[in-house]
Each structure stands twice: as structure tokens, then as C-alpha cells.
């Protein structure tokens, strides 16, 4: 797992540990897994999805899909930037 922080200028939208992260990058859909190489990339309009362990509970989510071991949470974005380094993802919207 790795740590994910999604925020805008006004507030923290989501913070927690995730198994994977899929973002609408300018170059196309991009999935980040633990120990991914460092990356900084712009985001386009679309949905950000994060897979978290079911035992964890976070707020600020637009939509949730459940399975026995994990949940996929969705966040809508209209652009932004992602930085991933040292198993920590920060998304500025």
C-alpha cells in the first residue's frame, strides 16, 4: 500500500492508505501501484479511483464499489497535478 492525499486550495478531500490509484492523466489513463517510479503528471477532466482495504473508512468520496477485500472509491476532477514519490501520492486539484 501507499499513502494518498487529495486536496484543493480550500480543503483536504481524501487522505489514507490505498492499494492502487488510477488517474485521468493528460497522456491517458494511468494506474499507480506501490513502489511505482517517481512521477509528476498533469490531470485532465475525469474520475480518479483508489482501491483501499475494506477495513479502512474515509470520507469525501463521490462513489464507492465494494468487494470482500477492498473498496474502489471515486473522486471527480476537472484537472490538477499528481506527484508520486517514496510511496506517497499527492494530487492537487
Domain ranges of the chain: 2-92
**Helix H or strand E segment including 61:** none
Residue-wise pLDDT tens digits, 28-80:
999 999 999 999 999 999 999 999 987 544 555 555 555 567 889 999 999 99
- Identify the sign of the CA torsion 49, 50, 55, 57: negative
CA 48 to centroid of chain Cα atoms? 6
pLDDT for the residue numbered 70: 81
| CATH, range 2-92 | 2.60.15.10
**pTM score, whole prediction:** 0.85
pLDDT for the residue numbered 53: 82
pLDDT for the residue numbered 62: 55
According to DSSP, the residues that pair with 14 across neighbouring strands are: 6
Amino acid at each position: 500500500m501507499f499513502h494518498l492525499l487529495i486536496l484543493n486550495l480550500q480543503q483536504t478531500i481524501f487522505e489514507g492508505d490505498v492499494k492502487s490509484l488510477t488517474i485521468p492523466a493528460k497522456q491517458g489513463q494511468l494506474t499507480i501501484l506501490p513502489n511505482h517510479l517517481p512521477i509528476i503528471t498533469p490531470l485532465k477532466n475525469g474520475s480518479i479511483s483508489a482501491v483501499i482495504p475494506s477495513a479502512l473508512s474515509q470520507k469525501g468520496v463521490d462513489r464507492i464499489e465494494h468487494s470482500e477485500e477492498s473498496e474502489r472509491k471515486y473522486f471527480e476532477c476537472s484537472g490538477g497535478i499528481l506527484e508520486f514519490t517514496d510511496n506517497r501520492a499527492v494530487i492537487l486539484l
